[in-house]
Amino acid sequence: MRLKHLVSSLDKVQGLQNVRELPADDVLVFHNISDGDTFHNRNCMIPFDMAFLNNENEFIKVIQIYPDENLEVRVPGGTRTVLEANLNFFKN
């Protein structure tokens, strides 16, 4: 697994927008998430998993996002880190 930590504001806003292919082992890591933060899938061209983790890096929830959904997702309460990876990456 290769973690790609998104630190700058520009990287965080960009996320998976306009990405046509994500290497199988890549995971995007968004840190310092606060209650009420939102994520969207506008301009995302691939299906992906979005995982929400708490302070102890325990999974709170995993959802699947598809390119044609045009969603805005509010993070579940207690989320401090969000991971994005290829669809079904977090299945097990």
- 44-85 pLDDT, tens digit per residue, is 999 999 999 999 999 999 999 999 788 899 999 999 999 999
- How far apart CA 49 and CA 8 sit, in angstroms, is 22
- How far apart CA 74 and CA 69 sit, in angstroms, is 15
What residue ranges do the domains of the chain occupy?
2-86
Strand ranges of the sheet holding 2-6, from the earlier edge strand across to the other edge: 2-6, 26-30, 81-86, 48-53, 59-65
- 34-45 pLDDT, tens digit per residue, is 999 999 888 899
CATH class of 2-86: mainly beta
- How far apart CA 25 and CA 9 sit, in angstroms, is 24
Min mean pLDDT across 9-13, 19-23, 28-32 is at 9-13
